[in-house]
Amino acid sequence: MKTLLLGLLAATALGGAVQAQAPASPAAPASAPALIREPPSNLQTGLDVDRFIGDPARSVTRIARDAIMTRKILTAGDPGQPGPDGAVLRYRKEVVLGTIQPGEASTLNGVPEQQIIYVTHGQGRLDDGARAWDLKPGYAMLIPPGAVHRLASVGDAPLEMIMMSTASPPTPAGGEILVRDTAKILYIEQGVHWTNMSKSPFSDLGERFLIVYMGPMTVAGAHAHTPETEEGWVKITDGPTFMQVGSEIRRWPANMGLLSPNNGQTVHAAINTGDKVESWFYFQGRPATAPQAPTNGPRSPLGGRVWTPEIAQSAIDATVAPHALTVAPAKRK
């Protein structure tokens, strides 16, 4: 009896296992999931990867506003046509690496383009001739077209900044200078393209600019963009990361820029092979539109992302208040 009982139990368990592995056929045939195949290689599309990459280490140094040493990262151009490496921006004028040596200051004046400036290294000061903002790494500045301002390096090390100019800005001309500490801003998104986490310093002004972070030993989901899209990336940190552009990869050191190819076929992604969080200066471009009227509340968030009251308040709390300018920065000798 004992042997028969064990046999019956074994048969029941086996039958249950078989049933679990082979469920009954549905009444109507279900369509199979779409098979995701690999995108075409760069040889198939004829893509020149280096056309979309800008490396300031290979750029000639030029002086802007009498004191700022600038090296090109990405500049204006047609990404669909042959041209110099990095000259691929349709909706932005340029993105450069700016450096001010210790004790030096730029000219006090305005420029016709809107500027977004992100401090990566050093200590600095921004002033408009009457008010001043102390600067440190992680501070982001939005300077409207024509706003009179001056930048200075006040520490013992050079002040280094990623500087983006837009010829036809989305924000109103004649607005106020705005400085925000990104360390105090809440994350507006997580898990985008698998692993991206982002902060949005100026979403309340409609500016398509993010600081994107990736955790250690992660990879973003490779994806492609359509021709109307302009999406640029500049590496902030200098940990071991790579960029995937179609069927090729490149090392991604600090300050190197990438415009995501927008032929609808070439995928791109970032890969963090280190044990620390890495970050990028990210922006989108868009065609010039009529300036938007100022508003006291947040505008529509980027790409339908959730702009909660808490995130909106964190951006306000991150705003750095100016103080009176008591001593003007030393002029460049």
- SS3 state at 212: strand
HEC letters along 85-97: CCEEECCCCEEEE
CB of 185 closer than 8 Å to CB of 315: yes
Average pLDDT taken over every residue of the chain = 86
pLDDT at res. 22: 39
Residues in the chain: 333
Which single residue is written with the structure tokens 């004829």? 46
CB of 291 closer than 8 Å to CB of 171: yes
What tens digit of pLDDT does each residue of 119-146 get? 999 999 999 999 999 999 999 999 999 9
Does the CA dihedral 272-273-277-278 come out positive or negative?
negative
Which range is most confident: 59-73, 163-177, 290-304? Answer: 59-73
Lowest-pLDDT choice from 109-123, 161-175, 200-214, 234-248: 161-175
Residue 188 has what DSSP assignment?
A: S
What is the fold of 46-324? Jelly Rolls (2.60.120)
pLDDT over 50 at 300, yes or no: no
Domain coordinates in residue numbering, the chain = 46-324
Distance CA 48, CA 200 (A): 31
CB atoms within 10 A of CB 157: 11
CB atoms within 10 A of CB 333: 5
Confidence category of residue 329, pLDDT binned at 50, 70, 90: low
First to last CA, the chain: 104
pLDDT over 70 at 52, yes or no: yes
Which single residue is written with the structure tokens 């004649």? 174
User: Angle at CA 122, nearest 5°, toward 118 and 124?
Assistant: 75
Does the CA dihedral 72-77-79-85 come out positive or negative?
negative
pLDDT over 80 at 301, yes or no: no
Confidence category of residue 26, pLDDT binned at 50, 70, 90: low
Confidence category of residue 179, pLDDT binned at 50, 70, 90: very high
pLDDT at res. 45: 95
What tens digit of pLDDT does each residue of 61-116 get? 999 999 999 999 999 999 999 999 999 999 999 999 999 999 999 999 999 999 99
Which single residue is written with the structure tokens 């500045």? 141
- SS3 state at 45: helix
pLDDT over 50 at 201, yes or no: yes
Confidence category of residue 306, pLDDT binned at 50, 70, 90: low
**Closest residue by Cα to residue 270 from 209, 197, 185, 162:** 197
pLDDT over 70 at 292, yes or no: no
- The percentage of the chain sitting over the pLDDT mark of 70, rounded to a whole number, equals 82
pLDDT at res. 164: 98
CB of 219 closer than 8 Å to CB of 23: no
pLDDT at res. 314: 94
Confidence category of residue 27, pLDDT binned at 50, 70, 90: low
- Taking residues 270-287, report their average pLDDT: 94
Q: Cβ neighbours of residue 56 under 8 Å, at least 6 residues apart?
A: 71, 72, 73, 96, 97, 255, 256
pLDDT over 50 at 299, yes or no: no
What tens digit of pLDDT does each residue of 210-241 get? 999 999 999 999 999 998 899 999 999 999 99
pLDDT at res. 172: 55
pLDDT at res. 156: 96
Distance CA 207, CA 238 (A): 26
Distance CA 103, CA 96 (A): 21
HSE-CB for 252 with a 13 A CA cutoff: 29
pLDDT at res. 199: 96
Distance CA 68, CA 119 (A): 13
**Closest residue by Cα to residue 280 from 243, 224, 237:** 237
